Amino acid sequence: MTRGAQGLHAEPVAVVAAGVITPLGVDVDSFWSGLLTGVDGISTIERFRVDDLRVGRGGEIKKLPAVTDGIRCRASALLVAAAADLRSRAPIDADATRLSVVVGTALGGVEEGEHALAHDRGPRRAAAARYDRPAHALARALGARGRVLTVSTACASGATALGLGADLLRADRADLVVAGGYDVLCRFVMRGFDVLRSLTRDRVRPFDRRRTGLLLGEGAALVLLARERDVRGERLGRLLGHGSASDGSHVAAPDPDGRGLEYSARTAMAEAGIEAGDVDFVSAHGTGTPLNDRIESAVLRRVLGDRADAVPVNSIKGAFGHTMGAAATLEAIMCLLASRHGAIPPTAGFEEPDPECGLDYVPRAPRRTRPRISVSTSAGFGGCNATLVLEGERGR
């Protein structure tokens, strides 16, 4: 670290409410109950051809809600569905020019590019392939005329978006920010991970000694962010800190020492003004790949220090796959729901501990505890790392 925690400390930002669409369910309530009760969000992919791939399973959303009828771009549809869930939980009440949208994605509108190159020669398909288009579709659906940002720190995008959204509020460049992440399960990304041999033929088993890889999923997750002093009434929690870092190590693989992830975690904790002893729960990136889970566990052990064995760590990717740009926001929401409901979802698929990982991964059943401070770590292609520090409403 080149700076002290004192100088970095940032004003907390309220997380007023959340909205999601996931393979476990198309709203926050079904997402949460699915995590606690062990619903399996993995299925055979039906929406596009997978018969030539090694693995044809993933976290596919089988039916989109009616609010998305008429929306051709699936990425935009997922965002609109999550926004509808969000709006059902909290009014989005701001001058349209002061309502901003910040969303993260690894794939943007790439599926539109597949259509544009395959059969649809019209100009709109090609234009819709730009990765920033779904964010503008969301802004239109919300009536937002403030800043519209798309971030793409690969599979850490959903965390980066929340960090940037919070900064917009702190700098008074917006009064409300709808922030989050999304990605679709499409042939492009399934082929890509298939070629890389990253997909498992088994189930996803984060931190388990038998883990052999990940499965992909799709979804969208949004939160409504506001300045603490502007919030009246109930909120889900607070975003205390965000940190990011590049590995500067490899385009596809994580840094073997996890330096970037560690830097992002320490930066986020410094921004939040917390120490390792304050951390009650960690939502890990936990992809279920041999390399990630071992490196991430070592990083968490260094960051948490003496507390490492006492802090529960989970990964929810075993339940419905790795939703890429949506993952970090879904995990942040999960952290806040854990505080609200007094339960930490188990790490689905984790049964046999790997001595090379060695933390408390919340096996088999939900853990009945009410975390106040949660840390959520994320990483992605290109050496992208991001960490969020969140405070559940228990702390209020």
Partner 1 sequence: MTAARVAAVGLITGFGDGVRALPDDAARAAGRRRVIGIPRTPVSGERFRRATRECVLGVRAVNALLAEAGESAGALAGTATALVYVTAAAYGAANRAFIESTGGSAGTLHFPYTAPSAVPAEVAIEFGLRGDYAILLGDGSATEEALWHATTLLGRGACARVLVLAVETFEECADLYARGRWLVRWPLVEAAACALLVPGEPTTPAPASAVRARSGETGACAPLIGFALALAEGGVPAP
Residues acting as catalytic residues: 155, 285, 322
Q: Which is nearer to partner 1, 115 or 238 (CB)?
A: 115
Calpha distance 15→328 (Å, rounded):
15
Q: At what angle do helices 110-118 and 187-196 cross, to 10 degrees?
A: 100
Binding segment toward partner 1, per CB under 8 A, in 184-192, 226-234, 297-305, 366-374: 184-192
Q: How far is the CB of 247 from partner 1 (least distance, A)?
A: 7
User: Are the beta carbons of 147 and 179 closer than 8 angstroms?
Assistant: no
Kindly identify the residues of this chain, within the stretch 8-47, that bind partner 1 according to CB under 8 A: 8, 10
- The structure tokens 């009246």 sit at 232
Binding segment toward partner 1, per CB under 8 A, in 69-77, 223-231, 237-245, 282-290: 237-245
When asked if residue 96 is in the footprint of partner 1 (CB under 8 A), the reply is no
Q: Which is nearer to partner 1, 36 or 126 (CB)?
A: 126
Binding segment toward partner 1, per CB under 8 A, in 186-194, 205-213, 287-295, 387-395: 186-194
When asked if residue 381 is in the footprint of partner 1 (CB under 8 A), the reply is yes
When asked if residue 291 is in the footprint of partner 1 (CB under 8 A), the reply is no
Other Cβ atoms within 10 Å of 306 Cβ, number: 8
DSSP secondary structure of 117-162 = HHT--SHHHHHHTSTTHHHHHHHHHHT--S-EEEE--GGGHHHHHH
Q: How far is the CB of 294 from partner 1 (least distance, A)?
A: 20
Residue from 108, 158, 318, 346 that binds partner 1 (CB under 8 A)? 108
Calpha distance 237→248 (Å, rounded):
33
When asked if residue 323 is in the footprint of partner 1 (CB under 8 A), the reply is no
Q: Which is nearer to partner 1, 50 or 348 (CB)?
A: 50
Handedness of CA 80, 82, 88, 89 (dihedral sign): negative
When asked if residue 251 is in the footprint of partner 1 (CB under 8 A), the reply is yes
When asked if residue 214 is in the footprint of partner 1 (CB under 8 A), the reply is no
When asked if residue 66 is in the footprint of partner 1 (CB under 8 A), the reply is no
Q: How far is the CB of 152 from partner 1 (least distance, A)?
A: 5
When asked if residue 310 is in the footprint of partner 1 (CB under 8 A), the reply is no
User: Are the beta carbons of 251 and 39 closer than 8 angstroms?
Assistant: no
Q: Which is nearer to partner 1, 195 or 365 (CB)?
A: 195
What amino acid occupies position 213? Answer: G
Q: Which is nearer to partner 1, 149 or 348 (CB)?
A: 149
Element (H, E) at 264: helix 259-272
When asked if residue 329 is in the footprint of partner 1 (CB under 8 A), the reply is no
- The structure tokens 């100009």 sit at 123
317 phi/psi in degrees, rounded to 5: -75, -20
> What are the angstrom distances between the C-alpha of 249 and each of 92, 259, 333, 385?
41, 9, 30, 12
When asked if residue 197 is in the footprint of partner 1 (CB under 8 A), the reply is no
When asked if residue 68 is in the footprint of partner 1 (CB under 8 A), the reply is no
Q: Which is nearer to partner 1, 78 or 166 (CB)?
A: 166
Residue from 384, 388, 389, 390 that binds partner 1 (CB under 8 A)? 384
Calpha distance 229→220 (Å, rounded):
28
Q: How far is the CB of 357 from partner 1 (least distance, A)?
A: 24
Residues that bind partner 1 (rule: CB under 8 A) add up to a total of: 64
What amino acid occupies position 272? Answer: A
Q: How far is the CB of 319 from partner 1 (least distance, A)?
A: 25
> What are the angstrom distances between the C-alpha of 137 and each of 68, 113, 145, 149, 273?
12, 16, 12, 12, 36
User: Are the beta carbons of 41 and 59 closer than 8 angstroms?
Assistant: yes
Q: Give SS3 for 26.
A: coil
| Contacts (Cβ under 8 Å, ≥6 apart) of 150 | 103, 104, 105, 108, 131, 132, 134, 135
Residue from 38, 48, 132, 301 that binds partner 1 (CB under 8 A)? 132
Q: Give SS3 for 338.
A: helix
Q: How far is the CB of 221 from partner 1 (least distance, A)?
A: 19
When asked if residue 220 is in the footprint of partner 1 (CB under 8 A), the reply is no
Residues that bind partner 1 (CB under 8 A): 1-3, 7-8, 10, 52-53, 106, 108, 110, 113-114, 116-117, 121-124, 126-127, 129-132, 147, 149-154, 160, 164, 167, 171, 173, 188, 191-196, 243-252, 259-260, 263, 267, 380-385
